[in-house]
Amino acid sequence: MNIQTQEILSTLRTELSSKNALFLAPVDSFIERLVYFYISNIQKEESARTIVWLCLSSSRDKVLTRFEDFGFDIDSSQMRFIDIDAPGKQHHPDTFYCSSVADYTKMASHISNIFQNNSRSVLIIDNMNVLASDNMQVVENFIKFIEKKVAENNGSILSMLSRNILPQEAEVLITSFFDVVIEITNLGEIHTEIGMKDFDFRYSVEDGSIEFEQMQKKAKRDRLKILIVDDEPDIPELLKLSLISEPYDFLVAHNGEQAIELTLRELPDLILLDIMMPDMDGYEVVEHLKKSKSASDIPVIMISAKTAVEDKVKGMELGIDDYISKPFDKREVKARIKMVMRRLGWIEEE
């Protein structure tokens, strides 16, 4: 592990020691590997802290196997698990078993007992997408209860959420449960805001090993150049009208070829891209731009009426940064543009 990786991990451990943090990332990122790496580092450097793992998508045995497969050291004797029981499942003394992922009362009670006896522990909720499939009011009550019990005992919570899999209102609600959202792109970039501080760094995975490095933020400037690509002429005008109060300048392309030509010539800061176009669809445009050295890092938000999960996943696999469904709400468009650009280091002038 290089010195810069050690320094970044130390900073994260310090800043997140008493906060509830969510790793938010595209489905094809290394989010799981990053979380396992981070947890193994906590245990290595702060061995007195108990790791409490709520197994929603992976069993206790599978979690420990993953640490081994990833090549990360972990001492299971310093871990406590809450797992879902099943016929024939081998029971372990370090594990509390519930009847289902919706057994909230038993889960909450056991988490409360662990934290009362083990202050400064870290609770891992291994997949918030699983919880989000249930009634959101029930989930919210469960999260608020365990947040209270964890805070009373100086602990912290860490979880993961795959972006653009849930309905957008559910994703927004889930992220609101957490003090800190750690945003990860499939370009290997990580951005988070903790208090008044911004943290930006890159990660790389080679031969199973993870390394971090600081990322230089973009220069502060007063306006963004945004390319809008849509074959329906009314859509660019509607988007421009929705964003008229923002410090943005606009370029417009009505087909894929125009989009590629304008992008390579003007190098916009952001592209709002439709999927369904007659000559070349949005996926093909992204594939073409990712091959260009000058344009491959330009963030892309797809805006489309195609809302199936497979459509969103296909975009994520190609490297898009976010997804907005048509018909869109101007408040959501504003929020997602700002979220993507902040992640990439843009600071809006006061």
Per-residue pLDDT tens digits for 234-288: 999 999 998 988 889 999 999 999 999 999 888 899 999 999 888 899 999 999 9
Q: Taking a C-beta distance cutoff of 8 angstroms, is the pair 54, 101 a contact?
A: no
Per-residue pLDDT reduced to its tens digit, 111-131: 999 999 999 999 999 999 999
**pLDDT value for 216:** 56
**pLDDT value for 86:** 92
Residues of the chain with pLDDT under 70: 196, 216-221, 307, 345, 347-350
Residue 136 C-beta-side C-alpha neighbours within 13 Å: 14
Q: Where does residue 93 rank: exposed (0-12), middle (13-18), buried (19+ CB within 10 A)?
A: exposed
Rounded to 10 deg, the angle between the 60-70 and 31-45 helix axes is: 90
Q: Kindly state the tokens that stand for 216.
A: 């230089």
Q: Kindly state the tokens that stand for 237.
A: 């005008």
User: CA-CA distance, 107 to 111, in Å (whole number)?
Assistant: 6
Residue in the structure block whose two tokens are 């289902």: 100
Domains for the chain: give ranges and CATH numbers. 3-214 (3.40.50.300), 224-342 (3.40.50.2300)
**pLDDT value for 219:** 44
Q: Where does residue 316 rank: exposed (0-12), middle (13-18), buried (19+ CB within 10 A)?
A: buried
User: CA-CA distance, 321 to 329, in Å (whole number)?
Assistant: 18
